[in-house]
Structure 1
Amino acid sequence: MLEARQLQFGFRSNVPLLETLSLRLEHGEWLGLSGNSGAGKSTLGKLLAGLLTPQHGDVYVDNKPLTQRGLRPVQWLAQSPELAVNPRWRVGKTLREAWTPSDALIQDFGIRRDWLERLPNALSGGELQRICVLRALAPGVRYLIADEISTMLDPITQVELWQALKQHARHHQLGVLVISHDAALLERLCTRRVHLAGGVLN
């Protein structure tokens, strides 16, 4: 279980963005997180992945504090994949930095082998997002924070990406937090949903 316990966070110490917030994500669960722009959804995702440190409270993975050492069991996926890769590395190197997936899994995500020899700017946003999602599925990863990862993609790419991720997550019992403004997407993908407003969940 991925668990946030009594998290508090603000970019200015006297202006809290998240107040005494608690959240649980079970193995194999798909949890939807909605909220208005600026409500703190991405901030919460980064706290859960260990990319930000809470001012108060803790994040636990399977009842152990989230560690900063080695491969993190919680991976955060961003809306803009070009910001998550080194523009001077060929995407195959970017992928192998985390792990070397099987040919079958590469195919499941609709990735062509020749893409791996290209630089990021030679791929479309949808092609590069597939690479970034696959990179986040390294062995040892237990939870994914998918932060608006399909917002900028065309409808066909959206469906293909979510189908591949859903299949892999089901097989490996990954917990997935889906952050999105798209209520229909959350309804389709998730078994449970929460809404963030005023620094609290409901």
Structure 2
Amino acid sequence: MLKAHQLSFQFSPGVPLLQAASLTLSAGQWVGISGDSGAGKSTLGKLLAGYLAPQAGSVTLDGAALPKSGVQPVQWLPQSPELAVNPRWRVAKILREAWTPSNAQCQAFGLQEKWLSRLPQSLSGGELQRVCVLRALAPEVRFLVADEISTMLDPITQVELWQALKQEAAQRQLGVLVISHDSALLERLCPQRFHLSGGQLTPW
């Protein structure tokens, strides 16, 4: 179980993004987070994945702190995949940074073999996002924070990406937190949903 307990965080003094926000994500569960731009959704995602340290409260995995080394069991997937990869690495090396997926897994996420020898900037945004999602699915991973990962993709690519991710999550009982402005998408994917506003999470 991934648990955020009474999280508080601010970048500027006197301007809190999160105020005693709490959230629990269990294995196999899909939870949605909506909120206005600047409400702190991405900050919450980064706290859950260990990219940021809470200024108050805690993030725990099965009651313990997140590990500080190795492949992290909670992976944060950003909206802009080009910011998450080394532009000088070929796609094959980017994937192997975390693990080596099987041919079947590559096919499920629509990765083409010819991409492996390319640099990331030669791929489209949708193609590179598929690479980044697959890279985040190493065997050690138990939870994903999907932060607006399909916002910039065309409708067909969106459907294909979410279908592949839902299948992989179901097989491995991955917990998935979906952050999105698209309320219709959250309603389709996530039985449990929260709205982040004023630093607080409210069910909707």
TM-score range, shorter chain: over 0.9
Q: Which residue in 2 is equivalent to 1:157? A: 157
Structure 2 unaligned regions, length at least 5: none
Q: Which residue in 2 is equivalent to 1:196? A: 196
Query: Hey, what's the Cα distance between the residues in 1 that align with 2:107 and 2:154?
Result: 19
Q: Which residue in 2 is equivalent to 1:37? A: 37
Letter in 2 for 1:129: Q
Q: Which residue in 1 is equivalent to 2:87? A: 87
Query: Hey, what's the Cα distance between the residues in 2 that align with 1:164 and 1:62?
Result: 27
Deviation at 1:99, TM superposition (A): 0.2
Count of residues in correspondence between the two structures: 202
Q: Which residue in 1 is equivalent to 2:23? A: 23
Q: Which residue in 2 is equivalent to 1:106? A: 106
Distance 1:45 1:74, change over 3 A: same
Query: Hey, what's the Cα distance between the residues in 2 that align with 1:185 and 1:164?
Result: 15
Query: Hey, what's the Cα distance between the residues in 2 that align with 1:81 and 1:22?
Result: 28
Query: Hey, what's the Cα distance between the residues in 1 that align with 2:63 and 2:109?
Result: 32
Secondary structure of the equivalent of 1:139?
coil
Query: Hey, what's the Cα distance between the residues in 2 that align with 1:113 and 1:56?
Result: 46
Letter in 2 for 1:181: H
Deviation at 1:63, TM superposition (A): 1.4
Query: Hey, what's the Cα distance between the residues in 2 that align with 1:114 and 1:37?
Result: 37
Query: Hey, what's the Cα distance between the residues in 1 that align with 2:54 and 2:12?
Result: 12
Deviation at 1:13, TM superposition (A): 3.6
Letter in 2 for 1:194: F
Secondary structure of the equivalent of 1:98?
coil
TM-score normalised by L of structure 2: 0.98
Deviation at 1:71, TM superposition (A): 1.3
Letter in 1 for 2:94: T
Q: Which residue in 1 is equivalent to 2:96? A: 96
Instruction: Give yes or no for the alignment of 1:56 onto 2:56.
Output: yes
Q: Which residue in 1 is equivalent to 2:175? A: 175
Deviation at 1:12, TM superposition (A): 2.0
Letter in 2 for 1:159: V
Q: Which residue in 2 is equivalent to 1:9? A: 9
Query: Hey, what's the Cα distance between the residues in 2 that align with 1:16 and 1:198?
Result: 8
- 1:100-151 C-alpha deviation (Å, 9 max, x unpaired): 0001100010100110110011100000000000000001100000000000
Q: Which range moves more in the overlay, 7-16 or 170-179?
A: 7-16
Letter in 2 for 1:89: W
| Runs of 4+ residues over 6 Å off in structure 1 | none
Query: Hey, what's the Cα distance between the residues in 1 that align with 2:199 and 2:31?
Result: 18
Query: Hey, what's the Cα distance between the residues in 1 that align with 2:100 and 2:73?
Result: 17
Secondary structure of the equivalent of 1:107?
helix
Identity %: 70
